Structure 1
Amino acid sequence: MVYRFVGYLAAERPVGNASEINVALESDTKLLEEVVVVGYGTQERRDITGSVASVKSDEIQNIPVAGLDQAIQGRIAGVNVTSSSGTPGGGISVRVRGTSSISAGNDPLYVVDGVPVSNSDISQGGFGNQQINPLAEINPNDIESIEVLKDASSAAIYGSRASNGVVLITTKKGKAGKTQVDIDAYAGVQDFTKEVDFLNATEYTSIVNEARQNYMNDTGKTIGLLGAPAYNTNWIDEVTRSTASISNLQVSVRGGDEKTKFYISGAQFKQEGIILNNEYERKNLRLNLDHAVSSKIKIGTNLGVSRSTNNRIIGDNNIFAPWPNALQSRPDQPAFNEDGSYFATQRNNPVQGALEPEYETTIFRVFGNVYGNYEILPGLNYRLSAGGDWYNNKEFQYEPITSGQGFGTKGYGLAGNGTASNYLIENTFDYAKSFGDLNMTALVGYTFQEFVTERQYVEGTDFPSSSFRYITSAAKIPSGTSNWTSSALESYLGRVNLDYADKYLLSLAIRRDGSSKFSEDNKYGTFPSVSVGWRLSQESFMQDLSFLSDLKLRASYGITGNQEGIGDYAAMALINGGQNYNDQSGIAPSQLPNPNLKWEQTKQSNVGLDFGFLGNRISASADYFIKKTDDLLLSRPLPRTSGYTSITENIGSLENKGFEFAVSTKNLTGAFKWTTDFNIAFIDNKVTKLNNDEPFDRGFVNRVAVGQPIGAFYLLEQEGVYQSNDEVPEKLFAKGVRAGDVKFRDINGDGDITTGADRTFVGSAVPDYFGGITNNFSYKGFDLSVFFQYSVGNEVYAMWKELDGAGNLGAGANNNAIAKDEADDRWTGAGTSNSVPRAVYGAAGSFNAQRSSRFLEDGSYLRLKTLNFGYTLPSSVVDRVGLRKVRLYATGQNLFTFTEYSGFDPEVSSNAQDAVTAANDQATLPQLRSFTLGVNIGF
C-alpha cells in the first residue's frame, strides 16, 4: 500500500497479514520550500536566479518604529537604511547596493500588494532639511513579508523605475479555518541614547575670558571680560521632555473558508518627540478580501486607509530650530525672565521656539487595489487589477508675534494643501506548463499608470493677536499659489522562467516603458535582463557529499532605469504665469527644452552562490555585483546672459561594485533552540564621468568629482596645532595666527591658507562595510532575540561643533555654548594639544573655525538595535480562559551604541535624501532609545 500526505514524501509498505502498520513519512522539502514574492507573481526560493532578499513578519512584528523601512534596517545584505533623525515620522534613507544617482533620486521603488506607491514628501512649509516619511503611513504590523529585488534580473520587470532596487511589500491575507482575533499592544518610554556635555555657566565664563585675554595678548587691545554668571541654564533639559512616550494598539481579525478569506485590522500608533510640543499619531484600517466566485474566477481587494497627525518642529539648518539653538545657547542666560516671560537670548530662545509656534501636518492616505483572476485554460490565467495611491497632505502653521519667527511680520500663518495620487491598471497573462523534465512559467502584461500632484497654499502676516491664528484674521496676504502637474507611464512586460531537471535554471525578462516626461524621440525605453542558475547539488557527481544540502550557482545581467527627481515636464519648453508688473498679469519663459533628455540607465552584473550544509542547518548566499549608471540626470548651470539659470541634461556616470554575504545557522535544535542570522556588505562607490569632468560643490562641505565617492568631503585638512610662533608662516602671522592655532595643510605651498586653493578630499560618507547580526533563543515558552546593526568606515561632518562655540573656543563664544570635550582638550601651551586649538577671540578664532577635517569624525558604530524578551503562556493555561495564545514581552530599541563619534548619534544626517550632502550633522535631532512592554493575545 502507498501512503501519502500533503507536504510529505509518499511511502510504500507491504500489508500482508499485519493488523497494524506504523509508517513515518519524511517531509518533502521541495513542497515545503519557501515561496517568495517577485514582480507580478511568486517563485520558490530555491528556483530564484537573481538576488532577492526577504524579511518575514515575525522578524519585524512589535518593533516600536513608525515605518516599515526602519523595521528592515540592518536585516538585509546590501541594503543600507539610515534613520537620519529622531523626529517622529521623519525621513528615512534607503540605499540598495549603493548610491546610483546624484540628483534623480536614490530610494527604491516601493510596491505594496502590487501597487507602486508614492515616496515623496509634498510638504510646503519650511522645516529645515527634515522631511516627512510617507512610508510611515503603512502599519508595519500589517505586513506579511518584505522582499527586496537587488539585482537587475529580478528588478528589470519594473523597468524605468528599478535602478535603485525594488521593495515588494505584501500585507497579511485571510486563511481558511476558524476565525482568529488578535490583539497586539505595547507601550513604553523613550530617551536619549547618549548625552553630550556642555560647559556650565562658570566654566563657560572662564573659557570666554581666557579667549578674550589671549586676544588682548595678541593685539595689545583691550576688551571687556565677563563677570560671574547669575544663571546656569541647561538648555537641553529646558527644551526636551525627560522621557517621551510611545504606544501601539492593533486589533486584527483573520479567517474564512475555502471560498472566501479575509483579514481586517485597525491600529493606533502614538509617539511623542523628545522635543517639547512634538508628537506623531497614526490610525490605520486595512481590509484584505479574497473570494472564489467559481473554480475558474477569483476576485479580491487589498485596501489600506490611514490618517496621521504630526505636530512638527523645525529641524536642523534653520535659525529658529529649538534643538540646534539649545545646543548653541549660552548657559549664563535664563530661559525666562522673573515675570515668566521669555528671556531674549542672543540666539532665538529655544524654549520659545518649541512652545509658541504651531506646526501641524495631517495626512490622509488610501492605497490598494481590486483584482479579478480568470483561469482560461489549465495553467493559463488572466488577471485584471485596478489600484492606486491617494495621499493628501494638509498643513497649518502659525507663528505669533512673540516668537522669533513671527516677530518681524507681526505674526505669520500658512495654510497649505497638497495631494499626490497615482492610478494603475494592469493586465497580465501567466502560464505554467511541464514538458517532462522541463518546467516553464511565462508572464506577459500591459500596465498604465498616471501620476497627479496638486498643491495650494496661502500665507498671511500681521495678526491682531495670538488668539487669532487663521489666515482670515491676517491683515496682509503676501503670497499664495496653486499648481497642478501630471505624468503617465505606459508599459509592456514579459518574463519566462525555465527549469530543466531541477538542475538548470533560466530566466528572461523585459519591460518597455513609455514616459510622458520625455520627448517623442526618447519617450520609450527598453529594459531587458537574463539570469541563469545551476543547482550543482542535484548533479550525480555531488551525491556522495552527504554534508551538502544545497549548492546553486547564479549569474545575471540586466538594464534598469531611473526617472525620479526630475519635473514632470523636464524635457519641454515652459512658460510660467505670475510674471506680473504694475498690477498687470504677465507670462515669461521659465525652462529651455531638451528633446534629448532620457532615463538614467543602470547596467548591473551579478554572480552569486547559494549553499547549505547539514540538512540546511547552515545556509548562506554570497553575491558579487558591478552596477554602472550612465546618462545621469543633472542640472547644468547656464550663463545668466541666456536668461535661464540651468537646464536638465544627461550628464555623467556612476559605478557601484561590491560583495554581499548572508548566512543563517541553526546552532541548537533541541529543547533549547538557538539560531543566528548574519549579513555584511562591502560597496565601493565612485563617480566615473561628469560634464567635461568638471567637479562641482553641493552644500557646505561636499564636492562631486570624478574618481571620488558620492558624499566626498572637500575641506581644509588639519595637520595639527602650531606649538610656537616660530612655526607660523609669515603670511599667516600677519593675519593674526599664533601658537595654539590650527595648522592646516598648505596644498599649493604659497605659505597662506585659503579655501579656494587649499581644500582637498579628506573622507566620505560611504561606509566601507555595513550589516547586522541577529541571535534568536527559545526554551519552552521563553524567547529572546538580540539584534545588532553596524556601519564601519564612514565619516560624519560635525557641523554642530563648527557652529557652536567649540568651533572656535572663543571667537564667537559670547553667542554660543561650548562642548566640554573640546574645551578640556584645548591647547594651553606648547605640547598640551595637537588637535584642539586655543581659546581665542577675533580673527584667529575665526581662522580656527574654518570648515576643515578638524570637524570630520569617524562615524563607524555598532548598535544594539533591538532586544526582545518574551514569554508565551502554556496552552494548558490559556485554553482554560478560552484564549488561543498569550505572549508577554519586553523590547529595547537602540539600547547601546558603540562609537567614537562625539555627537549624539553617528547615524544622523541633516538631509539624508540628498546623496551628496548626507552625513552632515547640523545639530540634527538624534534617534532615541526606547523601552516598551507589550502583549499579544489571540482568541
Structure 2
Amino acid sequence: MKQSISCMCRGTLFMLLYVFLMPFFLINVQAGTVLEPPQATVSGTVTDTSGNPLAGVNLVVESKNIGTISDFDGSFSINAGPTDVLIFSMVGFKSLTVPIVGREEVIVQLEEDVTVLGEVVLNAGYYSVSEKERTGNIATIKADIIEKQPVANPLAAMQGHMSGVNIVQDTGVPGGGFSIEVRGRNFINGVSDPLFIVDGVPFGSQSMGVARLSNQIVGGNISPLNAINPNDIESIEVLKDADATAIYGSRGANGVVLITTKKGKAGKTRFDAQLSTSLGQVSHFLDLMNTEQYLQVRREGISNDGYDSFLENPAFSFYWPDLTLWDQDRYTDWQKELIGGTAYRNNAQLSISGGSDRTQFLVSGGYQKETTVFPGDFRYKKANLNSTVNHRSKDGRFGISLSTSYTHEDNKLPTEDFTANAYSLEPNAPEIYDEDGNLNWENNTWDNPLAGLEEEYAAVSKTLISNAVVSYKIMDHLELKSSLGFTSYQLDTHRAMPSSATNPLYGLTPQNYSYLMTNASQRESWIIEPQLNWKREWDSFSVDILMGTTFQQETTEQLVLRGRGFPNNGLLYNLGAAQNIDILSNADGEYRYNAVFGRVNLKFLDRYILNLTGRRDGSSRFGPGKQFGNFGAIGVAWLFSGEGFIGTNSLLSHGKLRGSYGTTGSDNIGDYRYLDTYTVTGNDYDGTTILEPTGLFNPEFGWEENRKLEMALELGFFKDRLLLNSSWYRNRSSNQLVGIPLAATTGFSELTGNFDALVENSGFEFDLRSVNFQSNTFTWSTTVNLTIPKNKLVEFDGLDNSTFANRYVIGQPLSIVKLYHALGVDPETGQYRFEDFNGDDEIGSPEDRQWIEDLAPKFYGGLGNSIRFGNLTLDAFFQFKKQKAYNTVRFDATPGYKGNYHVDLLDRWMEPGDTNPYQRPSAGFGGGTNLGAFQQESNAAVSDASFIRLRNISLGYELPTNEQGPDINIYVQGQNLWTWTEYKGPDPEEPSSTRLPPLRQITLGLQLSF
C-alpha cells in the first residue's frame, strides 16, 4: 500500500495534464516527423516508482524527430532502431534516458520531481491552488511521509512536520487523544482545536467521553480522529493565515485542518496489501529510590517529626507498615511491574483500485489490534472500510464523486492508569498475589494496585463519514457544484466497579458498594454546500470567481447513568438489578449553521496575484440580533522571479513576496449558552426531581473575532532544488467569550459573555526544502521547519478585580503559571524558604504567588532527511522543542513521606549548616505548615524540558522482481526511538506523573502490490 499511496495525491493532476497538454505534445511531435525509415516497433509501459501507470508521458527518440505520448494505461509504441535511445519526460517527473539495446519491449519507471513548484497542487478547501501561486499560508504533509510512521492517529503523523502547528500526545494509552494548536492559543476559554474537514465534510474532533467514568486520561479524551486510518490519507493540509482561513469564517479562527483520503486512478485493477507488527515500550523510567534508600529517609522523617519512639510500639504499626510489617529487604521495581510490559500492535490493510479514464474506484479495508504495557488482558481493536468512486460523463461536463468511510473501535482498558502507582509505590510493598493466586491485601495494610483489574472499562465507537460531490459544467468557463456530507459518531462506554476491587478492610459488599456507570453518546451532522465557479483566462489576465452557501445542522445526545447496589457482582452489568439508578447527565443539543461565502482571484502576467475571500455566518449559538457575523480577507502575491531584472541564468529560480490581512471568528462556546438552562441532577428532594440551574439568560454576547496579519518571503534557488519559505504573523483575538464567575447567592456559577480582552499571537515560521543530490540511482533530500511563537495578553479590562487575576497577567502569555518564589533551604532550620511578596510574614496567600513561568514552547520544529539508493530508502525525522515544564519536584518535594520518590531527594538537609537543595525529611506527622506543598507550587518545580527526539526512522527495501511479479517492499520503522534532554521527569513533552508517556515503538512490515 505504501507504493500506491505516494502517487495518489497526483492522480487528478496527471489526468488533467494529459488532457490539456496532449495537443501540445502532438503538435511538437508532428512538427518534424520521421527523418529516416523506421527500423522496428518498440512498445512498453511507463509507470511511476510505485508501479502506477502514467498517461501523457512525452517520448522521443534521441537525435531523431520521432515521438509519441503514453496512453491512459501507461502503454506506448514507437518506431526505433535497436541502437537508438529513448527519452521519457513529463511535467512533475525527472526526465529519463533509456537505451533500447535491441529490445522490443521497454518497461520504464519515472521518479517524481519534487522541485516543480507550479505542479504541486495544494488543497485549500473550497478550491485548489499551486504552491507557486498560493497567496495564503498552507502547510502540507503527503502520504509518502504519513505511511512511514507507525501511528494510529493522523495527528501523530503530523507531529513536528509543520511549522506553526504544535501537537502534543496526551497519553501513551491506545485510543487516547492529542492536543493541537495552530499558531498558539487565541482565546481565554481554552478552546484551541482547529476545524477538521475530511473530504469536504466537517468532522467533530471533541471527545464525547466522560472523565468520571474512568480515572485515566483516555476516559475523558477518547479521540474521534482515531477513526481516520492514516493509511487511507492522501494528504493533510493546515490552513493558517487569514487568506487561507477567512473563507471558513467563524470556524477558521483556530486554523483549518483538511484531510483528503486516497482516490482511485485509471488503469488496470491494482491490489495493494500491507502487513505490519509493532512492539512498544515505555522509553524512559524515573530514577527512584531502592528499598534501603527509601527506608533510611522514611525513618529519618519519622525521627524528625518526633515519633521514632513509637516505631517499636505494635499499636502504631498501622501508621507505618512499610517500616514495621513489611519485609525490610524486599524490593520491587514497580515501574517494570506496572508499566514495563510490551505493547503489541498488529495491522493489516488491503485495497483494490483501478478504473477507466471516465470512472475510477478504490475500496480499502483495515484491521488493527493493539495491547498495552499494563498488566492484564487489555486491548484496542479497530476495523475500518473506505470506498471512493469518481465518474465523469463522456463529454466531460458532468462529474460525481462518492466517498464513504466507516470505522468500528472497541477499546477495553483499565479503569486507572497504573503510571501514578508505578512512580509512587513503596519499593518494599507486598507481593501482588498470595500463594493461591488471589489478590494479596497483606492483612489489609495496603491497597493492592492491581485491584483495578477487577474493574472493567470499555468504550465502543462507530464512526461514519460520507460525502458526495456533484458537478456540472454549464458552459466552458462556468461550473455548478454541490457538496453533500453526513457524519455520525456514536460512543458507548461503561465502567463496572465490583466490591471485590476494594480492600476487604472496608467491609464493602455488592449491596452497599458495587456500581455500574454507562455513557451513551451520539453526534450527527449533515452539510450541504452548493457552489458556482467561473474561470476565465486571457493572454495576460485571468479571473477565478467562486460563490457558495452552507447549510449545516449538528445534533448531539448524551445519557450518563449510574446504577448502585447490586445483589451480587454477577448481576453487575444488568442495570435493572441495581437498587438505585441515577441520571448523571441527560443532554440533547442542536446546532444550526448557515453561511454564504465567496472568493475572487485575479492574476496578471502570471506574477501579480490578488485573492479576496469573504463569508457571512449565521449561528444558532447566539441570541436574536447577534446571530450573524461578517468575515473576510485579502491576500496578495508578487512573483518577482518572473520580472525582467531577474536574468534567465540567475541562481534564483523562484521568488515571491506575499501578504494577507483579514478576520475570522468563533462561536465555539456550546449550544444554548445565551438561554436560561437547567439540568436534571438525578437526585430528588422529598420525592420531587431536582432541577439544577446551569445557565443564565444573556442575549447580548456575540462572536469572538480574530484579526490575522501576515507577511512572507519565498525563495527558490538552483532550479528550485533549494526552497526557503519564511513568514511573520500576528493574530489578535478580541471580544473574548468566557464564563464570567457569579456569586453563589445568584444560584449560578457563571454568566457567559464577552470580555473586553485582547490576546495576541505573533511569531516567525521558516520552512526549508533542499534536494542535496539527485541521480537515477541516488537521491538525498532534506526538510527543516522552525517556529518561534509569542503569545501575550494585551488587554483585559478589570483583570485585577476578577477571578482571573490569579491566572493571567497583562503583557504575559496565557500559558503562564503563577508560583511561589523558592529561596532554597534555610541552612539552620532545614525548611524551605519563599519570598513574601505581600510582606505579611506568612506564605500561602494568592498574593505570594507572583513568580511567573511560561510553559509554552519558546521555539519548536523538525529536521528530516530522505535518502534513496537503488531499491533502498532511508528516512529519518528529528523533532526539537525549547520549553520549560514541571519537574519531579512538582510530584514530591519532601523526603520521608510514605511512598517512593526520585533519588534526587536523597540530597536532603540533615544538620545545621547544610546547603542541600531539599529540606529535612518529614513523615507528615510533625504538624504545622507543609512547606513541601508550597515547594511543589513554586518555581523550583519548573525546569528546562527542551529536547531533541528521533521522532521517526524508516528503512525500506524493494525486492527486485520480474515484470509480471508483484512489487514487494519490506521495511522496519521506529517511533520515539531516542530523546536527548536534560529533563528528569517521565517525558519532556508530556511530563505528567499520572499519565502513561508516549511509547517507543519498532515496526516490521511487508507491502505487496500486484
TM-score between both structures, scaled by the size of structure 1: 0.90
Question: Partner residue of 2:778?
Answer: 672
* Partners of 2:495 and 2:24 in 1: CA distance: 59
Specify the alignment match of 1:342 in structure 2: 439
Residue in structure 1 matching 2:998, options 911, 922, 927: 927
Q: After alignment, is 199-208 or 836-845 more displaced?
A: 836-845
Partner of 1:733: none
Which of residues 910, 917, 920 is equivalent to 1:828? 910
Report how far residue 7 of structure 1 moved: 9.1
> Residue 290 of structure 1 contacts residue 301 of structure 1 at CA under 8 Å; is this kept in 2?
yes
2:450 to 351, 359, 366: 351
1:706-730 per-residue CA deviation (whole Å, 9 max, x = no partner) reads 222122121112222222x2xxxxx
Instruction: Pick one of 440, 445, 455 that aligns with 2:543.
Output: 440
Residue 562 of structure 1 deviates from its aligned partner by 1.5
The whole-number CA distance in structure 1 between the counterparts of 2:26 and 2:849 is: 69
Contact 1:287-1:304 at 8 Å conserved across structures? yes
- Is the 2:763–2:788 Cα contact (8 Å) retained in structure 1? yes
Q: Please identify, of 267-276 and 747-756, the stretch whose mean Cα deviation from structure 2 is larger.
A: 747-756
1:34 pairs with one of 106, 120, 127 = 120
Deviation at 1:498, TM superposition (A): 1.1
Structure 1 position 238, deviation (Å): 2.6
For residue 797 of structure 1, what is the aligned residue in structure 2? 886
Which residue is 1:332 aligned to?
428
* 1:275, distance to aligned residue in structure 2 (A): 1.8
Q: Which residue of 2 aligns with 1:626?
A: 730
Match status 1:22 vs 2:64: yes
Q: Distance in 1 between matches of 2:649 and 2:986?
A: 52
**How big is the shift at 1:479?**
3.6
The 2-side partners of 1:626 and 1:864 are apart by 31
Aligned to 1:906: 988
Mean Cα displacement is larger for which, 98-107 or 446-455?
98-107
Inter-partner Cα distance in structure 2 for 1:9 and 1:838: 88
Question: What's the CA shift string for 1:50-80, capped at 9, x where partnerless?
Answer: 1011100000104211100110100011111
TM-score (norm: length of structure 2): 0.84
What is residue 661 of structure 1 aligned with on the other side? 766
**What are structure 2's unaligned runs of at least 5 residues?**
1-19, 38-62, 66-86, 93-115, 313-319
CA distance in 2, matches of 1:14, 1:325: 79
| 2:976 aligned to which of 866, 872, 894 | 894
Residue of structure 1 in register with 2:12 after alignment: none
- Quick one: structure 1 residues 245 and 31, their matched pair in 2 at CA, closer, same or farther if it must change by over 3 Å? closer
> Matched residue of 2:231: which SS?
helix
Contact map agreement 1:326 1:350 (CA 8 A) in 2: no
Provide closer, same or farther for how the CA distance between residues 705 and 762 of structure 1 changes in structure 2, counting only shifts above 3 A.
closer
* Mapped partners of 2:280, 2:130: distance in 1: 41
Q: Residue 92 of structure 1 corresponds to which residue in structure 2?
A: 178
Task: Give structure 1 stretches of 5+ with no counterpart.
Answer: 316-320, 726-737, 910-920
Matched, 1:303 2:408: no
> C-alpha distance in 2, partners of 1:16/1:260?
34
SS at 1:694's partner residue? helix
Aligned AA for 2:635? S
Aligned partner letter, 1:132: I
Aligned residues of 1:104 and 1:563 also touching (Cα < 8 A): no
How far does residue 878 in structure 1 lie from its aligned partner after superposition?
4.6
CA contact (8 A) 1:862 1:897 kept: yes
Q: Report the more deviating stretch, 140-149 or 24-33.
A: 24-33
Aligned partner of residue 278 in structure 2, secondary structure: strand
Q: Secondary structure of the residue that 1:333 maps to in structure 2?
A: coil
- Contact kept, 8 Å, 1:204 with 1:817, in 2: the verdict is yes
**Corresponding position of 1:846:** 930
Aligned with residue 388 of structure 2, among 283, 288, 302: 288
Would the alpha carbon gap of residues 703 and 349 (structure 1) be closer, same or farther in structure 2, given more than 3 Å must change? farther
Deviation at 1:844, TM superposition (A): 7.2
Which position in structure 1 is the counterpart of 2:1007?
A: 936
The 5-angstrom pairing of residues 107-126 of structure 1 reads 107-124=193-210, 125-126=212-213
Which range moved further: 113-122 or 11-20? Answer: 11-20
Is the contact between residue 329 and residue 347 of structure 1 (CA under 8 Å) also seen in structure 2?
Answer: no
Q: Percent identity?
A: 32
**Partner residue, 1:862:** 948
Q: 2:527 aligns with which of 392, 405, 424?
A: 424
Amino acid across the alignment from 1:498? L
**Residue type at the aligned position of 1:525:** G
1:249-273, Cα deviation, whole Å (9 max, x unpaired): 1001111101110111000122212
- Alpha carbons of 1:16 and 1:926: their partners in 2 closer, same or farther (altered >3 Å)? closer
Give the CA deviation at 1:375: 0.7
Query: Which segment is superposed worse, 98-107 or 244-253?
Result: 98-107
Q: RMSD across aligned C-alpha pairs, in angstroms? A: 2.6
Q: Is the 8 A contact 1:617 1:666 kept in 2?
A: yes
Residue of structure 2 aligned with 1:456, choices 559, 566, 570: 559
Report the Cα distance in structure 1 between the residues aligned to 2:583 and 2:680, rounded to whole angstroms: 14
Whether 1:247 aligns to 2:346 is: yes
Deviation, 1:774, is 0.4
The answer to whether the aligner puts 1:687 opposite 2:793 as a matched pair is yes
Alpha-carbon shift at residue 833 of structure 1 (Å): 4.6
Alignment of 1:60-99 (within 5 A): 60-99=146-185
Which residue is 2:77 aligned to? none
Instruction: Report if aligned partners of 1:84, 1:908 keep a CA contact under 8 Å in 2.
Output: yes
The answer on whether the counterparts of 1:550 and 1:611 sit within 8 Å (CA) in structure 2 is yes
2:104 aligned partner: none
Question: Which amino acid in structure 1 is aligned with residue 344 of structure 2?
Answer: S
* Structure 1 position 590, deviation (Å): 4.0
Contact 2:213 2:494 in 1 (8 A): no
Give me the whole-angstrom Cα distance separating, in 1, the residues matched to 2:641 and 2:560: 63
Larger Rg: 2
**What's the CA shift string for 1:533-554, capped at 9, x where partnerless?**
0000000011255211100000
Does the alignment pair 1:581 with 2:682? no
The match for 1:744 is 834
Task: Tell me which of the two structures has the higher relative contact order, counting C-alpha pairs closer than 8 angstroms and 6 or more residues apart.
Answer: 1
| Cα distance change, pair 141–878 in 1 and its aligned pair in 2 (3 A) | farther
Q: Which residue of 2 aligns with 1:735?
A: none
The 1:67/1:702 distance shift into structure 2, 3 A limit, reads farther
Structure 1 pair 183/322, CA: closer, same or farther in 2 (3 Å)?
A: same
Aligned-residue offset at 1:5: 5.5
SS at match of 2:569: coil
Summarize the Cα distance change of 1:890–1:10 in structure 2 as closer, same or farther, 3 Å threshold: farther
Contact 1:104/1:562, CA 8 A, preserved across alignment: no
Aligned equivalent of 2:337: 238
In structure 1, how many angstroms separate the alpha carbons of the residues matched to 2:657 and 2:161? 23
The aligned counterpart of 1:105 is: 191
How far apart are residue 834 of structure 1 and its match? Answer: 4.0
Aligned-residue offset at 1:528? 0.6
Q: What residue identity is the alignment partner of 2:885?
A: V
Matched, 1:373 2:471: yes
Q: Counterparts in 2 of 1:696-775, with a 5 A limit?
A: 703-723=807-827, 725=828, 738=829, 740-775=830-865
Residue matched to 1:196: 286
Which residue does 1:507 correspond to in 2? Answer: 611
Cα gap change, 1:280 to 1:421, in 2 (>3 Å): same
Task: Report the 3-state secondary structure (helix = DSSP H, G, I; strand = E; otherwise coil) of the residue aligned with 2:950.
Answer: strand
| SS, match of residue 158 in structure 1 | helix
1:516 pairs with one of 609, 615, 620 = 620
How far the C-alpha of 1:463 sits from its partner, in A, is 2.3
Q: What is the rounded CA distance, in whole Å, between the counterparts of 1:8 and 1:654 in structure 2?
A: 55
Partner of 1:361: 459
Task: Tell me the equivalent position of 1:637.
Answer: 741
Question: What SS does structure 1 have at the residue aligned with 2:963?
Answer: helix
Aligned to 2:134: 48
Letter in 1 for 2:374: I
Pick one of 688, 701, 706 that aligns with 1:597.
701
Say which SS state the counterpart of residue 65 (structure 1) adopts.
Answer: coil
State whether residues 213 and 495 of structure 2, in contact with CA within 8 Å, keep that contact through their aligned partners in structure 1. Answer: no
Output the CA distance in 2 between the equivalents of 1:521 and 1:113. Answer: 33
Partner of 2:985, secondary structure, is: coil
- Is residue 174–residue 256 contact of structure 1 (8 Å, CA) maintained in 2? yes
| One-letter amino acid of the structure 1 residue matched with residue 873 of structure 2 | D
Distance of 1:834 and 1:548 partners within structure 2: 60
